[in-house]
A and B are shown apart, each in its own frame.
Chain A
Amino acid sequence: MILQQLINGIVIGSVYALIAMGATLVYGILKVLDIANAGAYAIGAYAGLFLYQATGSLPVAFLGAVLFTGLFGVLVQRVLYVPLLDKPPLVPLICSIGLFIFIQDLIRLLAGPHIRAFEAQLPFRGIELPYLSVNAIWIAIMATTAVLLVFLWYMLNRTKLGLAWKSTAQDLEIAKAMGVNVDRVVAFNFLLGYGFAAAAGIMIGMLYNSVFPTMGDMPAYKMLAIIVLGGLGNPLGTVVAGLLIGVVETLVAGYVGFFLPRDAIAFVVLIVILLVRPQGLLGQRT
């Protein structure tokens, strides 16, 4: 029973990490809270669903939707954020909230307000043991998330591009002066960030068998809790915070039968931890 709950928590938590990773990457470089990243989550889910219905192939739908949404992120960055960067931080933040609302309404206009089912056929079966059942979608989610996060870790810590990313996050002006084409780093950052959000959207859409225009609402709030908890702009912290919130949420909801709605638990965790560590779990005191 506890093992089952733990696995549930880890699955949910790793998807949370994925959702928040896009915003973390963007914050790391631009110091902008990118609420619209939760819009990318919904775009990804819809793109994935339509591509799946059109092609019948899950890998094609997944990769296609991730790429499409990532390119959308590159566009957003070029058209919206870069021109606003030398304005006070509130300006890009408001712009990002506006974009989020715009995305949701655009989806409503194009695809209708109703909930669509996302029934995916996976080519393998789940695990059924007497005390433990892990269905196929969960296995797919865990594996995909692990691959994406390991890919990101490798990219950030073992490649020249990762070094450029970190330098740009630490001091954009000096990174430029050292020869880093920061325009390209920022564009790549959005490609990755929006792509990750899309991946999460597809997987959650499949998990709950539903895709709808406002599906990004809850991730938008939770994403904020997770990136603050992870120490703002810290990718590793985001993974830790995502897993923590996923696990705590599942355990509390499963055992305590909390008087709070499940989705509020993330914020209880956030508040408690920030009282003790105002800089977040892995953030640095400044």
Chain B
Amino acid sequence: MKRAELKQRKLDATSARVEGMTLPAGAAWAEALRQDALSRLLAMGLPQGRDEYWRWTRPDTLNADAPKPATVFDAKEAPVFSGIDRLKIVFVDGVFDAEASDALDGENLEIMRLSDALSADIHWVKDAYGVQEKKAQDPVERPFATLNTAFATDGVVIRATGKVAKPVSLIYLHRNETSDAILHHVIRVEEGADLTVLENGPAAARFNKVMEVEVSDKAAFHHVRAQGRDHERRAVTHVFATIGQEALFKSFTMTANGVLTRNEVVLDIQGDDSMAHVAGAALGDGDFHHDDTVFITHDAERCESRQVFKKVLRNGAKGVFQGKILVKAGAQKTDGYQISQGLLLDGDSQFLAKPELEIYADDVACSHGSTVGAIDDEALFYLRSRGVPTAEATDLLTLAFLAEAIEEIEDEAIAEDILHRLEGWLTRRRAG
């Protein structure tokens, strides 16, 4: 088939997909933004298997008219972050649940439901909703994010004006086996402010989520998420962030289970002397498929970026990593680090990685590495010779493999909680 023909097919499929969908109503400016997103989407088309950026992750189930049903997982233990003092905002199958949520306020904090914010006239939201998503379409198209900007039905806008004591915790409950959720959050951390956002839960059978974050000068943003254990769920998520001067951005994601997860992170470091870290620990079995796709642009001097992605794969599970560091011409003294590693607990699993560096500045230190391997025999024997049974020793070494990613979580209590979840996942596999 010729290129033009392929593209036409893609556009036809995209039109068909959005035909039954309606753009949510809101203020005139918001409706215009959504309309613009829809036009952009119709011009680029939703991804297909032949697209380079999707060559290792099949987008068809994300494109289908209706989501594939996903069984609701019945966890025995309390959900992650239960022991953390936090401000809870609950969504059930992608719909905000006011009753289950805490009051939407706090010191140094403004929070509003997205639909309210897009019906009002809040200048900073006007300048933020869909703005980073649109900008991030170049050089690589991210059509699911555009779909999200056009059709997002719920979400929150958060503005932190100082140090926010409690983390804002977004909880995504999944109750309906065929739910299809599109959430969009807009976050602004003002100069000198400090905010932690937690996310947990599967959200829906199919979940499309965008989070746009602006980290102002001297501000800090911490993000820790756990994507929920409902194995049959599918998710495509995007985190877009711009980072100002002397600012800090840190994001960590734990994914245990899930037949399809595509997490894209697009960071634009615009201010000098800043730090941006993204990390992920993923574990899965069987038809687990997990894709981390990261694009970090350095457009300022003396900034540090780190990407630490680790995947533990068993029984035919598949892990994908596509990570890029782009250092623009003026971004001298950039320190960029990227590591992606797959630990295969058996021969059937697969880890695919595409690390990329594109550097236009001459005085930079960038390194990237990608490895795939099994448990180290020497270390395993050493542990066993001290009396640790094989299964337990394997778990210990698996957690050790994940440690570098977990260390990216700054808050000790949260890191501890995440670690327990990972241990729990491994222990349950051993028992079952």
**Do A and B truly interact?**
no
Residues of A within 8 A of B (CB): none
